[in-house]
Structure 1
Amino acid sequence: MPIRSRIYPKSIGDVCVTTFMFLIIPVIYYFELWIVLPTFHTPWCSTYIFHFTMGNFILFNLSGNLINIILTDTSIKGRILPAEINKNWRFCTVCEAFAPPRSWHCPTCNECILKRDHHCLFTSCCIGHYNHRYFLVFVFYIFIATLYSSMFNIQFILDRFETVTWLSIVKLVFPLAILFLEWSLAQFYVALIIIVTLGCLFTGTLLWYHGLLIAKGLVTHERKEKLSVYDRGYIENIKVVLGTRWYLVWISPFIRSELPCDGVEWITNVSVKGK
């Protein structure tokens, strides 16, 4: 795996969103497993251990994939390019180099990215050919974590608002605003639960959006294309992103799964290309 040499954020947006991500993950982890879970199950009983183990398994995959996204270099720098450049290549005036098909320049990272999908504010780097797998699994586990937590959080918060009043509704709808006006531990819990709920909705939508693109053999830059010359069927399209051992990458971010393409040369769908 090629390692990025410059992993620091390169814009104010990157700094703010990435910092929030690295702060909120451990806070939510502590809140869910050490505050919410013990209110439903006696600590260290069999049911508690099951949920506690699942929570740590999710955190392991979530954190491991996040780190791999940031550390993986997916730019064209240092790549061995073919001697003959075909007509699908583009010359990047900023990098002063030829960029392979499906590669685009990122103004934030200031470099061309192999099979660039998008620039991710949550990780302060681009999602491209070599870290696309980690991004997809990371989003998947964020969704699972927030969905899993929400099943406990709904009852947890209802127990604290046994009587529904206008004030309790306002506190649920505007938790952060109320938190600044009226600090309390209960209101802080409400704010965390709202963040978890919004995270579930956001990552669920994101997972659906990127899942559809991957199924069609597309990246975000190619989303307007009705037919992709790189569409080779669902399984092959999945392998391009997750690798040949795509069915195992969900277990651990450290499982090797070779990608069928190198990000420079692409196998195309001849039937679509000819149209």
Structure 2
Amino acid sequence: MIIRKKIWPRTIGDLLSMIFVLVIVPLMYWFGLWIVLPALYKDDILPYTLHFVLGNFIMFNIVGNFTYTVLCDTSTKRRIVPVSTATVADGWRLCATCECLSPPRSWHCNTCDTCILKRDHHCVFTGCCVGHHNHRYFVMFLWYLFLGAAYAFSYGSFFIWTRTSFEFPMSVIKMVFPVAIFFFGFDSSIDQFYLLLYVVSAVGTLYTAVLCIYHFNLILRGVVGNESNKKDFTYDMGWKDNVREVFGERWYLAWLLPYIKSQLPHDGISWHYLCSKKD
């Protein structure tokens, strides 16, 4: 893996979004494994241990896939083809900003200020573009975020509603405006803080579920965001080959841990190979 030289977010929006992730994920980890689980399984060692191991496995994958997504250089900088010697083929474009030829499926990102190989989109939560070399890690980051949020929400439901009495309409107000209620001092109790984290887990579950459905659907159809908008399915090789293009030759193991090596079958440049193979 080639590491990006500039890994810090370049815009205020990216910076704030990344800070949010870096704060809320550890908080949810602490809430789920150090507050909720001991309260639910204080007398049952075996289920507590199993859930504790599972929770750490999810957290390990969130951190690992996030790190790889941010660090991985998926730009065309290391693969620039000089304009004077390049043979322009179908899909190649001259990028006026980078002053080089960009291969098919590559687009320039104004935020990252470079062309990205097989660019899917710019992610504000990681502060970088998702492209050919870090697509796998980004999707797995999303997947384990969803698992973690759903896990925290399901067990948080038992925890919250066994220690909090429902009083209409105040309980509804506390759930709809948990941040305002807590930080403006209307209710700064620890229970309100737990309720705040519980609501965040509920919203996070829904949000990451939608993102997972969207991005897995793109992968199965063999397209990236720009191609999906244009209804361009030129590189659709069938679901299994499409999955292999993102997760590599060992796609059946790549979802377990980000540290499992899985060689990509394509270099992210010569896409005419896939087209000829498809024909």
**TM-score over 0.5 (shorter chain):** yes
Deviation at 1:154, TM superposition (A): 1.1
SS of corresponding position for 1:105: strand
Specify whether residues 36 and 127 from structure 1 end up closer, same or farther in structure 2 by C-alpha distance, changes over 3 A only. same
Q: Which amino acid aligns with 1:251?
A: L
1:27 maps to 27
1:52 maps to 52
How far apart in 1 are the matches of 2:87 and 2:99?
A: 17
8 Å CA contact 2:247–2:264 kept in 1: the answer is: yes
How far apart in 2 are the matches of 1:224 and 1:17?
A: 25
Q: Which amino acid aligns with 2:255?
A: W
Count matched residues: 273
Q: Which amino acid aligns with 1:33?
A: L
Q: Which amino acid aligns with 1:98?
A: L
1:95 maps to 98
Deviation at 1:251, TM superposition (A): 1.4
How far apart in 2 are the matches of 1:163 and 1:20?
A: 29
1:118 maps to 121
How far apart in 2 are the matches of 1:270 and 1:98?
A: 22
Deviation at 1:159, TM superposition (A): 1.7
RMSD: 1.7
How far apart in 2 are the matches of 1:95 and 1:80?
A: 9
1:243 maps to 248
Q: Find out whether 1:142 has 2:145 as its counterpart.
A: yes
Q: Which amino acid aligns with 1:129?
A: H
Q: Percent identical across equivalent pairs?
A: 45
How far apart in 2 are the matches of 1:113 and 1:218?
A: 15
1:162 maps to 165
Which of 198, 206, 210 is residue 203 of structure 2 equivalent to? 198
How far apart in 2 are the matches of 1:3 and 1:85?
A: 28
The 5 A counterparts of 1:181-220 are 181-182=185-186, 183-220=188-225
2:16 maps to 16
How far apart in 1 are the matches of 2:252 and 2:90?
A: 35
8 Å CA contact 1:227–1:272 kept in 2: the answer is: no
The CA deviation string for residues 92-119 of structure 1, in whole angstroms up to 9 with x for no partner, is 0000110000000000000000000011
8 Å CA contact 1:229–1:270 kept in 2: the answer is: no
Deviation at 1:78, TM superposition (A): 1.4
Comparing 200-209 and 83-92, the one that deviates more: 83-92
2:108 maps to 105
The CA deviation string for residues 186-230 of structure 1, in whole angstroms up to 9 with x for no partner, is 111111111111111111000000111111110001112435110
8 Å CA contact 1:161–1:168 kept in 2: the answer is: no
Deviation at 1:164, TM superposition (A): 3.0
The CA deviation string for residues 2-33 of structure 1, in whole angstroms up to 9 with x for no partner, is 11010011000011000111111111111110
Q: Which amino acid aligns with 2:185?
A: L
Specify whether residues 11 and 163 from structure 1 end up closer, same or farther in structure 2 by C-alpha distance, changes over 3 A only. closer
SS of corresponding position for 2:251: coil
For structure 2, the residue ranges without an aligned partner over 5 or more in a row are none
8 Å CA contact 1:228–1:272 kept in 2: the answer is: no
The CA deviation string for residues 53-79 of structure 1, in whole angstroms up to 9 with x for no partner, is 000011111100000001100000011
Specify whether residues 233 and 186 from structure 1 end up closer, same or farther in structure 2 by C-alpha distance, changes over 3 A only. same
Q: Find out whether 1:171 has 2:177 as its counterpart.
A: no
Which of the two has greater helix per residue?
Answer: 2
